[in-house]
Structure 1
């Protein structure tokens, strides 16, 4: 259904009301549970750990993603170091300084017996947001995409930044955010310096959109003379249906 009116990013009065204050992403990428208890982990994280983070004023939004076998089959070739990623958790911060309180809260929850063993980590990074764009057809502005009800996300990790505008022409891509790693203390994250992250926010089945994105992305990498580290579709976790989308 086509929504009415002029897209927010074309209306000065809407933009004057606020451009959002998210500047930083904390992204944790992990592999599947070693004993196949992915649904149990998602239940704990979604009902307990994740909502607690929103008591921090620096945390503005959060997004948990999971890869199914169908998602895996729709991935594009990447770096073997990232092949095992099936879970992606993102917190959207107003400022990287908020990560200090983020760590302190995690410690307090742990001391209260409120933590379970983490999923095996693959890559953790702190990223500075450097571009945001929304497809005009969805009407909402690029600034508010973290709160928009996505049907999935196509995530791309790369060694260098490339223009993402052509991705908006792909059916099912509602908007795109791009970010680059920030230099932070190793206790917070270990993603390599200069690593680029692109999130395509989707309003269609992520596997179907992945197939449409494949030729566009392949041409992009060939033109840039580069290769992705990871290029994969993910489902958002569905609350209270913990085994709906699991690896």
Structure 2
């Protein structure tokens, strides 16, 4: 269904009322649960741990993603160590200064007996947002994509290259945010500085969109200027349907 009116990013009066203040992403990539109890872990994290993070003034949004077997089969690139990734948790922060309170809250919740053992980590990174773009057809502006109801996401981890805004031309891609990993305290992150992470916000089935994205991605990587590390579709967690999307 075609939504009415002009896209927000083309209307100066809309943009003048606010551009949002998200500038930093905390991205945690992890493996599936070692005991196969992924649904139980997602239940705890979604009902308890994740909402508690929103008491922090620096946290503006959050997004939890899961890779299913169908998602795995649709990956364009999945080399070690990222081949082990089945869960991705992202918190959208105003700036890296919020990380101190993030660690303190985690300790406080643990001291209160409110934490389960975390999923085995693959890589954690703190990323500075470098670009935002929305497809004109979705109408909402790029600044508000973290709150846009999505059906899936496509994650692109690379070395080198520019923001993949050409992917907005692919059916099902509603927007793209791009960020670069920052050098931070090892307690927070292990991602090497300078990696580029792009989030494609999807409004169609992520496996179907992954197939449509492949030709554009192969073209992007063909000239050797960009090194792909990971390129994969994911489903969002569906609250109270914990086993709907699991590895």
TM-score scaled by structure 1?
Answer: 0.99
CA displacement at 1:161 relative to structure 2: 3.0
Corresponding residue of 1:103? 103
Stretches of 4+ moved more than 4 A in 1?
A: none
The count of residues paired between Structure 1 and Structure 2 equals 247
SS in 2 for 1:70: helix
- Unpaired segments ≥5 residues, structure 1: none
Check conservation: 1:23, 1:129, Cα contact below 8 A.
yes
Q: C-alpha deviations, 1:2-44, integer Å up to 9, x for none?
A: 0000000000010000000000000000000011000000000
Q: Is structure 2 residue 170 aligned with structure 1 residue 170?
A: yes
Check conservation: 1:78, 1:228, Cα contact below 8 A.
no
Out of 48-57 and 161-170, give the one that drifted further: 161-170
Q: Is structure 2 residue 190 aligned with structure 1 residue 190?
A: yes
Q: C-alpha deviations, 1:163-192, integer Å up to 9, x for none?
A: 412100000000000000011111110101
Q: 1:104 to 1:87 in 2, by over 3 A?
A: same
Corresponding residue of 2:240? 240
Check conservation: 1:162, 1:224, Cα contact below 8 A.
no
SS in 1 for 2:96: coil
RMSD: 0.8
Q: Is structure 2 residue 227 aligned with structure 1 residue 227?
A: yes
Q: For 2:63 and 2:229, locate their aligned partners in 1 and report how far apart those are by CA, in whole Å.
A: 21
CA displacement at 1:78 relative to structure 2: 3.4
Check conservation: 1:134, 1:142, Cα contact below 8 A.
yes
CA displacement at 1:46 relative to structure 2: 0.1
Residue correspondence of structure 1 range 98-137 to structure 2 within 5 A: 98-137=98-137
SS in 2 for 1:228: strand
CA displacement at 1:160 relative to structure 2: 1.4
Q: Is structure 2 residue 214 aligned with structure 1 residue 214?
A: yes
